[in-house]
Amino acid sequence: MKGLTILGATGSIGVSTLDVVARHPGSYRAVALTANHNVNDLLQQCLKFRPDYAVMADESSAQQLAEQLQEAAPEIQVLAGMDGLKRVSSLPEIDYVMAAIVGAAGLLPALTAVRAGKRLLLANKESLVMAGSLFMEEAKRHGAEILPIDSEHNAIFQCMPKGYSDDLSAIGVRRILLTASGGPFRLTPVEQLSQVTPEQACAHPNWSMGRKISVDSATMMNKGLEVIEACWLFHTKPDKIKVVLHPQSVVHSMVEYADGSVLAQMGNPDMRTPIAHAMAWPERIESGVASLDLFEVARLDFAAPDFQRFPCLSLAYQAIEQGGSAPAILNAANEVAVAAFLDGQLGFTEIPVVIESTLSAVAVDAGYDLDGILAIDAQARSVALNKVQA
Ligand code: NAD
Ligand code: MG
C-alpha cells in the first residue's frame, strides 16, 4: 500500500489523481489532502477518502473545515498554512507526493518532499521553472524520484530508455519534440487577440484544466514553461528541444534518436494517463482512460509554431538561454499578468508586454539559492504589478 499526499487536491489534477486512487483501493491511500480556500470541496473529499490529514492554506478556512468535520470524521487532523503543507509533504508514512498546487505557491512544499526523499509526482511546472537547478540537485542528494505529470514530459519520459543517464547524447538522443495544441487562438486573426475574454481564453479545445494553465496555453507561455521544465528534467539545452504544433493533442511528445527513429507516446488527452503512469511506474495500472480510437482521430497534423503570434514562447526561450534567475522572473511576471487578465485588468496581448518589460527591469543573478529565488520572485512580482497598474 502506497500512502499519498495530494497537494492541490481540489484542482483539476488533484481530482483526476483521486479518481485514479479510487480505482485501486488496495494499492494506494490518500493520507493527506490539501486545498487553498475551498472548504466545501475539501470537506467532500475528506468525507469520501478519509485521509489522516487535511490542510487549508489559511487558519480561518482550516478552522471552518475542522468544525465541519467534527461530527462526521473527528479523527482527521486539520492543519493550516505553509507549515501544514510542509508537514504533509515529509511525513514518514507518505510514499508519494502529488505536487498539484498551481504557481509559485507550490515550490516550497514540493521542495520539502524532494528533501524528504519522496517520489514526487510533479505537475507544478512553475517550481522547476523557478528553481530547476536547486530542485534537481536536491533530488539527487536525497534520492528523491521525480516523475513528470505534465503530459508532454511524461510522454518524453516514457520514450526514453529505462534507467537513462543524465547525458542524452550518450544514449543516442538527438532531440526532443515537444508537442503543443496551439490553444484556442491558434487560428484567430491576430488583430482580434487584444479583445479576447478570460472565458474564451479558458475554453481549451482539447484539455480541461485550471484557469491559470488554460490562459498559459492560450498565450503559449505554457509551452515556454514546458521547454524550461524539459531542460531541467532531461538535463538538456533549449536548442535540443523543438516545439511542434499538433492541434489534435493525441501525440503527447516525441524523442528522436541518432539513428533517425522517432518514438512517440499517444493517447486520449486525459491527465489520468500520466498520473496513473507515474503512480505505478515502472508498472502499469488502469486509469479509467478510454482506448484511443484511431479511426475517429483519423488524421494527425503537425506544423511549426508561430513565434509572432505567440511572443510568450520566444520570451521563455530567451529566459532559459539567459539562465540564472531569468526563468524565475519570467514566471513571476507571468503569474501577475495572467491574474490581472483573469481579473479583467489587463488585455490578453498585454500579457507578453508586462513580462518582457519586467524581464528587462529586474537584474538577473547568475547563481542563486532558495532565499535568492524567493527574493527575486517577490521583486519581479512587485515590478510586474506596477507595470499592470501603469
Ligand atoms: P487548479 O487551479 O485546477 O488547481 C490548483 C490547486 O491548488 C487547487 O486545489 C487549489 O486549491 C490549490 N491552490 C491554489 N493556490 C494555492 C495556494 N496559494 N496555496 C495552497 N494551495 C493552493 O490547477 P490545475 O489545472 O490542477 O494545475 C495544477 C498544476 O498542475 C499547475 O502547476 C499546472 O501548470 C500543472 N498542470 C496541470 C495540467 C492540467 O491538465 N490541469 C496539466 C499539466 C500540468
Ligand atoms: Mg503540458
DSSP secondary structure of 351-368: HHHHHHHHHHHSPPPSS-
Identify which ligand lies nearest to the alpha carbon of 105.
1
Query: What's the confidence (pLDDT) of residue 262?
Result: 98
Q: Which cell numbers hold the place of 111?
A: 521542495
- The conformation of residue 290, written as its DSSP 8-state character, comes to P
Query: What's the confidence (pLDDT) of residue 166?
Result: 77
Lateral strand order in the sheet of 262-266: 241-245, 173-180, 251-257, 262-266
Identify which ligand lies nearest to the alpha carbon of 213.
1
Locate all alpha helices (DSSP H) within the chain, ordered by sequence: 12-22, 39-49, 59-72, 81-90, 107-115, 125-142, 151-159, 198-202, 211-219, 221-233, 272-280, 294-297, 311-322, 326-342, 350-361, 370-389
Average pLDDT of the chain is: 96
Please work out whether the CB of residue 56 comes within 6 Å of at least one atom of ligand 1: no
The per-residue pLDDT for range 371-389, each reduced to its tens digit, is: 999 999 999 999 999 999 9
CA distance 160 to 58: 41
Domains of the chain, earliest start first: 2-148 (3.40.50.720), 151-268+293-308 (no CATH), 323-389 (1.10.1740.10)
Please work out whether the CB of residue 36 comes within 6 Å of at least one atom of ligand 1: yes
Query: What's the confidence (pLDDT) of residue 145?
Result: 96
Please work out whether the CB of residue 148 comes within 6 Å of at least one atom of ligand 1: no
- Look up the pTM and report it: 0.97
Identify which ligand lies nearest to the alpha carbon of 35.
1
Please work out whether the CB of residue 338 comes within 6 Å of at least one atom of ligand 1: no
**Residue 9 Cα: closest atom of ligand 1:** 9
Q: Which of 10, 12, 82 to mutate to test the pocket of ligand 1 (most atoms within 8 A of CB)?
A: 12
**Whether residue 305 has a cis bond before it, omega within 30° of 0:** no
Residue type, 191: E
For the chain, which ranges sit under pLDDT 70?
A: none
**Residue 103 Cα: closest atom of ligand 1:** 32
Q: Which of 102, 135, 211 to mutate to test the pocket of ligand 1 (most atoms within 8 A of CB)?
A: 102
The per-residue pLDDT for range 336-356, each reduced to its tens digit, is: 999 999 999 999 999 999 999
Query: What's the confidence (pLDDT) of residue 368?
Result: 77
The region, left, alpha or beta by phi > 0 then psi within -120 to 50, assigned to residue 180 is beta
